[in-house]
Amino acid sequence: MASLLAAPQLLEPFFWVLQLVTGVLGCVVAWLSLMLINVTSLVTLQVASDSKAVAQSVIAVIWYHETKRTLGWISVLLVVCGTFLYAVVRTREENSVQQPQTEPLLTATTNCKPPDVKDDDDDSDGSNTVNF
């Protein structure tokens, strides 16, 4: 612990700027995750994070020339197929829920007669009543 506190990097402003940026980005990611859960569901957040992990794996293979075993590529393929199928099912569910009802607001058979209102003279108890 003493060697950690004596590290010269602790005195550099660039180190603290990077720490601050990392902390702020971590809070933003957590806030966006909560917003995603509020708007969709926890399952959608899990699918999104799995998709992000697949993208990171593919970028690591392309950018850093990492090697993956066959089982690793099979797992990537499974996640991609699962994400695609989840998106298809979710889209179909949303489309079936969002189809508008084509029932008109007023039709020719709608009773548009105003309610019958009794006169004050007709009330024996002094209260106004409305009959529909």
Q: Which of 77, 74, 83 is nearest to 51 (CA)?
A: 83
User: How large is the angle between the packed helices 70-97 and 42-64, nearest 10 degrees?
Assistant: 140
| pTM of structure | 0.52
- For 103-132, give the DSSP string: --SS-TTS--PPPEE--GGG-SSS---EE-
Q: What is the pLDDT of residues 60-73, one digit of tens each?
A: 999 999 999 999 99
Q: What are phi and psi of 130, to 5 degrees?
A: -120, 130
d(CA 97, CA 75): 33
pLDDT of amino acid 7? 87
* Predicted local confidence at residue 14, as pLDDT: 94
Give residue 25's pLDDT.
96
Q: Which residue has the tokens 């180190």?
A: 15
Q: What share of the chain is helix, strand, coil (3-state, %, to 5)?
A: 65, 5, 30
Residue 56 has a pLDDT of: 92
Q: How far is CA 93 from the centre of its chain?
A: 15
Share of residues in the chain with pLDDT > 70 (%) = 74
Instruction: Walk along the chain (132 residues) and give the pLDDT tens digit of each residue.
Output: 888 888 888 889 999 999 999 999 999 999 998 888 888 888 888 888 898 899 999 999 999 999 999 999 999 999 999 999 998 998 898 888 876 655 555 555 555 555 565 655 555 555 555 555
